[in-house]
Amino acid sequence: MATCPQGHASGADDYCDVCGAQLTAAPSPQAQQSPVAEPAESCPVCRTPRAGQFCEVCGHDYSDNGAAVPLPATGARWEAVTAADRVYYEKVIAEGGPDADAVAFPPYCPERSFGLYGEQVRIGRRSKARNLAPEIDLSGPPEDPGVSHLHAVLLAQPDGSWTLVDPGSSNGTQVNGKPLKVNVPVRIGPGDRIHLGAWTVITIREGTP
């Protein structure tokens, strides 16, 4: 026995057989056709919710569907050479910031060379907590505190060239003095200078084939 909104006992369960009031509201066609929200995509490596092209924790590239990028069998070996840039450092300090006064230019920072191999080369600082070990590890010493754990990523192209992407670093990335937009690839080549952090410069060079 159903009870209508007016309190009448009704033998029917759709409309009150005393006053005719509707007992249950039928679902609207729009409600019936509303699509079910799909669950947010998460990283297949570390299960972190997706926030862009690259996982902000482990650096996984969502655009990689498992197919290897066809790279030339022969060609010049590219390398990334890291160093400290005093001019860039002074520019960063002059622009100010919450930690500008606490960042000192390193008294000694030898150049380090990293070969560019594979489909992607991550740039940043390693993190045991995030299980992140970038191919170009800027952990130091000396360590540039302005470099994010996953600061930028170099992506190999089918023609043998490389592009650079900033997946959303804290302090941004510049190529030849021009800031990169987040998740917008920029083609790079030998002689290009990549600035990041408080004083780090990465120069792209073409070595011996």
From the options 3.20.20.70, 2.60.200.20, 1.20.120.1200, 3.40.50.970, give the CATH code of 78-206.
2.60.200.20
DSSP secondary structure string for all residues of 158-201? TTS-EEEEB---SS-EEETTEEPPBT--EEE-TT-EEEETTTEE
pLDDT band at 206 (very low <50, low <70, confident <90, very high): confident
Q: Measure the CA–CA gap between 69 and 159, rounded to whole angstroms.
A: 10
pLDDT at 61 over 80: no
pLDDT of residue 154: 97
pLDDT of residue 66: 44
Q: Among residues 191, 194, 195, which one has the least CA distance to residue 206?
A: 191
Q: CB–CB of 75/209 below 8 Å? A: yes
Helix, strand, or coil (residue 107): coil
pLDDT at 71 over 50: no
pLDDT at 116 over 80: yes
pLDDT of residue 43: 72
Q: Measure the CA–CA gap between 148 and 167, rounded to whole angstroms.
A: 10
43 or 32, higher pLDDT: 43
Domain ranges of the chain: 78-206
- Alpha carbon of residue 24 to chain centroid: 49
pLDDT of residue 130: 82
Query: Checking phi first, is residue 124 left (phi over 0); if not, alpha (psi -120 to 50) or beta?
Result: left
5 or 157, higher pLDDT: 157
